[in-house]
Amino acid sequence: MENVARAIAYLAYAVASADHHVDEIERKAIHSLIDEHWQLLADAEDPFGARTLDFVDKMIPALEANNMSSDEAFSHFKEMFEAKKELFSTELKTFIIQLCIRTGAAFNQMNKSELVLISRVELLLHG
């Protein structure tokens, strides 16, 4: 699940940073959603999804500190998704779309950049 966790972290960051700033409200929304849906991210090595949550919580500030652009983060997600499509169940894809929408709406509703990015995610996941 580490590949999936890493992909989700990149995507969550891409959505949160689409407006060139990751707000604390967005971080909390990402944390809450992953915590709420830990079952989708659990595996034999991480039966409660706790390591995944911790991983994503730590990776987002690291990406921000490295000034990674939203487009670059999305490209990383896309590359990981295309390389490991079999790990992304229908339920996980639905969760990923929810994560994008709720993260984008967490701070001052969604802007055009976030809407475009979410459309790209939907096309990638279901295309």
Number of structural domains, the chain?
Answer: 1
Query: Length of the chain, please?
Result: 127
Half-sphere exposure of residue 11, counting CA atoms within 13 Å on the CB side?
Answer: 29
Name residues whose C-beta falls within 8 Å of residue 95's C-beta, 6 or more positions apart in sequence: 33, 37, 40
CATH at 84: 1.10.3680
Which pLDDT belongs to residue 21? 87
Which pLDDT belongs to residue 88? 93
Q: Which of 119, 21, 117, 22 is closest to 74 using CA atoms?
A: 117
Half-sphere exposure of residue 72, counting CA atoms within 13 Å on the CB side?
Answer: 7
| 116: containing domain | 2-126
Which pLDDT belongs to residue 1? 62
Q: Give the type of residue at 34.
A: I
Q: What is the mean pLDDT of each run of 10 residues along the chain (127 residues)?
A: 86 94 92 87 73 88 95 97 93 94 87 92 93
